[in-house]
Each structure stands twice: as structure tokens, then as C-alpha cells.
Structure 1
Amino acid sequence: MFFYLAKLGWYFAQPSALLLVLLFVGLVAIGLGCVRSGGSLVLVSTAGLLIAGFLPLGPAMMLPLEDRFPRTDPKGPVAGIVVLGGAIDTRISESRGDYALADAAERMTEAVRLARLYPEAKIVFTGGSADVIPDGSTESDPARAFLLAMGLPADRLIIEGRSRDTAENARFTKELVQPKPGETWLLVTSAWHMPRSIGCFRAVGWDVTAWPTDYRTSGPADLWSPMSRPSSGLAMVDLAAKEWIGLVAYRIAGRTDALFPGP
């Protein structure tokens, strides 16, 4: 139930959608003669779109997430590398008969680099389908195909294809690999997604080592630079807002061990 409520709620809660809906409602109100209230809605929504699109609001929301877990050298031998799904476009992969990497492709490429750096480590990919109405396609098959094409041997790969969200990534992967106490496991996911991911793994009793990838900001200097494209600004605000809302929702639901997990 949590999965479906989260999907439905976010569809209407994402900032860009809310601002566009407000703009539309304002224009309709003006057309119906409610000029004052309609004009206020148009003003607020237009200002919001301009701020989110052109000013560095997105980087300001993203930086605390991305800087929360810096990379640290693993302590001891690396037993395995867990790669969270979200880097593969299942719709395009299915229709084109290939593996189509999405915006978070660095999760996959970094997994390959780490696999070569730690040749004894198992490589675990965890990700099923995040569609509200599943069509049978998951990330697991194209992920396996990609990792094999990059030269990783099949006997090093463990594929978990049931999970639909981050909490299920943690729970199902732990059940599958049965990590031993004291083992070092690296968790590979986007830097902005790392706090919630670490919280989910800790909630199931698995203390993994953060290995963030796919940074969307270069650092504090981004706070003083306007966005190169308004579409990029809106997209970053949406992405960061989703993660902050997810942190709160997951904590309320008991899916993480803290509101804002840290090192």
C-alpha cells in the first residue's frame, strides 16, 4: 500500500506540476471573472517557475543530500558491491531489445569499475519494476545483460528483481545474500539518494558502506550560478523535493532508522 500511495502522492506533489496547475487554475479563474484571485495565482505560479527554473534553488536543495555521505576507503576486504536500480530505462530497454541507461547511468559504470578494483567481491544488482501498473519488464534483465557485456563473469553476479522501492531493495537484498557480521559491503547509488538508502539498509540491520555516484552538483559554487536552462532547474528542484519528501515519509513509516541518516 505504501508503494502505491507514494507514487500517487508524488504525481501531484512535484513542484513543477503544482506550479503549472496553479497557473492553469489562475488563468481559468481570470477567464471566469475572478480577476483578483486568479491574478494572484498566476503571479505566484509564474514567480515559482522563474525561481525554480533560473535561480540555483535546485542546487541549494540538492547539496545537503549529496554532501551527506562522502566516499571513504573500505575497512578490510570488500565482500560485495550492492548496486541500486534506477539507472536503466525499462520501457526503452524492452521496446528496443537492449539495455538503455538512464540519467543515473553512473551507478552501473561505477559498479563495473569497482568490480575490477575488488575482483573477489560479489556484484549485487537490486531493482525490479517501479511502475504502478507493471507490464512484466524489470530492470534486472537489462542490468544483467549490461554487466555481462562489460566483461563481468556470471558467477560473480547476484540479481534481485522483485523490489519496487528503496526499502524493498534493502530488505530483499539482505534476504538474498545473507551478509555475515563484520563483512564490508559497498552500497552504490546516486549521491542525492544515499541518505535515504543508508537509512533503509540500517533499518533492516545491515550496516553498508556508502559509495555515492551520479552527482548533480559540483559543490557550493553552484549556489552562486544561475541555471543554464530553466528545464534543468525545474528538474533538479523536482528531484531534490522528491528525496526530501521521501526522507520524511520513510521515517514516519519506519522504513529508515533516522529522519536524515548520516555517517
Structure 2
Amino acid sequence: MFYYVSKIAWFFATPSNLLISLILLGLALACFRRLRTFGIGVSLVFTLATIALGLLPLASYILLPLEERFPPFRDDGKPVDGIILLGGSVEASDSAARGRLVANESAERVLDTIQLAHRYPTARILISGGGGTVFGDGAAEAPVIAGYFKSIGIDPARILVEDRSRTTAENATFSRELAKPREGERWLLVTSAWHMPRAVGVFRKAEFTTAPYPVDFRTAGGSRTHRPFAFISEGLRRLDIGTKEWAGLIGYRLTGRTSELFPGPQASQAGGIASR
């Protein structure tokens, strides 16, 4: 039930969808003579808000704390037993239709996992990502990525496929069931930097200790954070991502899926030599 409620609620609460809906609402009100002035005013206000939120760096300010919560992975020389790749980087249905891997803007998750697979040739690779939509089951992402990994020469014996999960919380639960991590093993967790706090939170809740390996950064940090966007669509897209992630953190904490509102690094994750 949580899955369906969250998906439907977020469809209407997504900033870009909400702004367009409010503009259309204003136009609809303007069709009534008594509400004409008010309706035009509503449409004008939210049209200007759409332009401002798309061009101004508000989205960068929202994303930056998420992306800087965990530092880049540091290699302290200890062996790596496993690599967990969370889904969200491949369009599974499109890949099936095209007969080839169709990646999206989070493709860096896949690219960095390939790099790690070569850097740690004995590590197992667990790909977590099922299908599912609000109105039915979609193609699972994990088997598509697994097939691609095999096609580029990664040993199939190293690959574990978790294709049931539809949410980040299920990623953690089902991954632990499949990996059966032993005490002392070291597993890297690969996902987008802006998604890492929530991902780490649910893996901790599932008692699956991981070392965060953030990728797919959407902010540059420093003074570049204050730069406006060149395209309205770019700013709105990042605003959607950032607000969704903060909403996810709050929702997961309120429903007990994480034990912290804003999970951060633990002392055991500090130290070592930068590996990236």
C-alpha cells in the first residue's frame, strides 16, 4: 500500500507537475466571468514561478546537502567482497523493446560498477532493481543490467540478480536476503549521491553494513552552486529530484523504514586514500 500511495501522491506533488496544474487551474477559472481576473492572476503568478524555479539555482541548494552528505569512497587497502548496484539507471521496458541497453541520466551508476568490477575482480556484484508501476508490473531492471554485464565479459558466476524490489527499502531487504553477508565482509553500495542518504538509511535498518560509493552528482559545489540554469527544463528536473528525495527521507523516517531522518557517515567509514 505504501508503494502505491507514495507514487500517486508524488505524481501530483512533483513541483513541475504541480506548477503546470496550477497554471491550468487558473486558465480554467478564467473561463468564468466572475473569476476571470482572479484566474488570469493565478496563471500569471505560477507561470512566473515556473520560469523562476527553472532558471534560479534553488534546485542546486536543495540537492547540495544530499550530495555532500557522504564523501567519495576511500580505499584503505581492505578487500572488497561485494558491490551493490541499485536500480534507477536503465529503462528496462525500452531496453527490452530495443534489444539493447537503454540508459537514462543516472547511467554513471552502471559505468562506475563496471569500473569497480575490474578493480575488484573477486567481488560479487549484486544488481538490485525490479519492475512494477502503479497500474501493473513492468519489466525488471536488474536482469537487463545483468545481461549487459555478461555481454561485456563480466563472469556470470559473480553476478547476483535481485529483481523483486520496487522501492529503496525493498532494495535493502531483498538484497540482504540474496547476498547473505557474513560478518566482516565489505560491500560497496553504488547509487546516485543525492540518493545515498536514504539508501544508507534503509540498508542500516536492514542490518546490511555497506560502504557508500556515491556517483551521479548533479551539483558541482563551491561557487558554481550559485549559477543559474541555462534551460528551465533542467532546473525543474533537478528540483523534482531534490524535493522527491527530501520527501522520501521524511516519509521513510515517519514510517519506520529508517532510524534517522538524515543518515550520515559513521566513524568506521572515515580514513583511507581517495580512490576516485
TM-score bin, normalised by smaller chain: over 0.9
Unmatched tracts of structure 1, length 5 or more: none
Contact 1:185 1:209 in 2 (8 A): yes
Q: Does 1:3 align with 2:3?
A: yes
Q: Which runs of 4+ in 1 moved over 2 A?
A: 133-136, 220-224
Could you list the per-position Cα deviations for residues 34-75 of structure 1 after superposition, in whole angstroms to 9, with x for gaps in the alignment? 134324422331232012111111111111111111123245
TM-superposed CA distance for 1:190, in Å, is: 0.4
The letter of the residue matching 1:13 is A
Which position in structure 2 is the counterpart of 1:24? 24
Aligned to 2:39: 38
- Aligned mates of 1:113, 1:134 — CA distance in 2: 34
Distance of 1:57 and 1:39 partners within structure 2: 26
Structure 1 match to 2:170: 168
> 1:19-168 residue pairs with structure 2 within 5 A?
19-33=19-33, 34-75=35-76, 76-168=78-170
Measure, in 1, the Cα distance between the counterparts of 2:41 and 2:132: 37
The answer as to 2:213 corresponding to 1:205 is no
Q: Does 1:223 align with 2:202?
A: no
Q: Amino acid of the residue matched to residue 42 of structure 2?
A: L
* C-alpha distance in structure 1 between counterparts of 2:108 and 2:68, whole Å: 17
Unaligned runs of 5+ in 2: 266-276
Structure 1 residue 220: deviation in Å? Answer: 2.8
* Distance in 2 of aligned mates of 1:40 and 1:247: 35
Quick check: 1:130–1:165 contact (8 Å CA) kept in 2? no
* Paired residues of 1:29 and 1:37 also in contact (CA < 8 A): yes
Residue type matched to 1:262 in 2? G
* SS of alignment partner, residue 74 of structure 2: coil
In structure 1, C-alpha distance between the alignment counterparts of 2:258 and 2:101, rounded to whole Å: 31
- Partner Cα separation in structure 1 for residue 137 and residue 12 of structure 2: 23
Between 1:29-38 and 1:208-217, the stretch displaced more is: 29-38
Percent identity over the alignment is 42
Q: Deviations over 1:125-158 (max 9, x none)?
A: 0000142233452112211111112221001101
Residue of structure 2 in register with 1:195 after alignment? 197
Check conservation: 1:83, 1:187, Cα contact below 8 A: yes
TM superposition shift of 1:255? 0.8
Single out whichever of 232-241 and 141-150 deviates more from structure 2. Answer: 141-150
The letter for the 1-side match of 2:107 is A
Tell me by how many angstroms 1:217 deviates.
Answer: 1.1
Query: What is aligned with 2:253?
Result: 251
SS at match of 1:11: helix
What is the identity, as a one-letter code, of the residue corresponding to 1:249?
G
TM-score, normalised by the number of residues in structure 1 = 0.96
User: How many Å separate the matches in 2 of 1:68 and 1:36?
Assistant: 46
Q: d(CA) in 1 for partners of 2:152 and 2:75?
A: 24
Secondary structure class of the residue paired with 2:16: helix
8 Å contact 1:112–1:150 — kept in the other structure? no
Moved more, 141-150 or 183-192: 141-150
Structure 1 CA distance, aligned partners of 2:230 and 2:69?
Answer: 25
Quote how far apart the aligned CAs of 1:235 are.
0.5
Stretch of structure 1 that moved more, 153-162 or 137-146: 137-146
CA RMSD of aligned residues (A): 1.3
SS state of the match for residue 178, structure 2? helix
Pairwise CA distance, 1:221: 2.4
